[in-house]
Structure 1
């Protein structure tokens, strides 16, 4: 029986990390985590006290976004086929969190994201998971 020593384990772990890290698609939006962490009210999730930048840090820290954009007091996180928009609440303190699929989110928030993010269906849009449109 051949023993696997620490050097073999380190090499195997490094090769596994490189193989998965280089081919990994952007993450999916952490929808279940968002729904269990934040309050839900009238179609949106709410954080009653934290500003948009802190809420974005929390969400991005839980599941890394493919891209992040701040514009006009809002923060946008782009995931594989989804978008999370975080803005200030209209009354009081805190943030409103909106989760949309990328197409709907792009249409809704295009005045904020169109300068930086590709339009859905464009040749530079890389959503759709591994191998789709690449």
Structure 2
């Protein structure tokens, strides 16, 4: 009987791990894929497609945690990166930053969604009423 309970517990643990990997697998950073897919250009990468099409290619490859659309470009948030796809002559420019650098660099476009007044991510605001606000 103890073996059945232990076996059931192990199967439950394995199932939970598989579910966790499946749920978080789509949100991985597309940094390496972008670097291998688009040529480097001026601190970023060049695409011959407009920003929405380029962002769609990136999103199909790796689902972001969040995205923001602005006339200035498309901004994608991943656990380890912020990707900005901006219009440029003949297509678009893609910039891949760490979350800290991305929030600071693009805060005027994503501030209301992703960060506070200084452009930093503020996903956790404290524990109780008035705490951390």
Assess same fold via TM > 0.5. Answer: yes
In structure 1, the partner of 2:45 is 45
Partner of 2:54: 55
The higher-RCO structure (CA 8 Å, 6+ apart) is 1
| Per-residue CA distance 1:76-131 (angstroms, 9 max, x = gap) | 00000210000011xx3200000000111111111000011134353538xxxxxx
Unaligned runs of 5+ in 2: 1-11, 126-133
- Structure 1 residue runs without a partner (length 5+): 1-11, 126-134
Aligned counterparts of 1:86 and 1:40: Cα–Cα separation in 2: 14
TM-superposition CA deviations, 1:22-77 (whole Å, max 9, x none): 86377231111101110112211000x21001010000100111111101230000
RMSD: 2.6
1:110 aligns with 2:107: yes
Aligned match of 2:67: 68
Tell me what 1:9 maps to: none
Kept in 2: contact 1:25–1:80 (CA 8 A): no
Pair member with larger Rg? 2
1:26/1:80 contact within 8 Å kept: no
* TM-score between the two structures when normalised by the length of structure 2: 0.70
- Alignment: residue pair count: 109
C-alpha separation in 1, matches of 2:37 and 2:121: 32
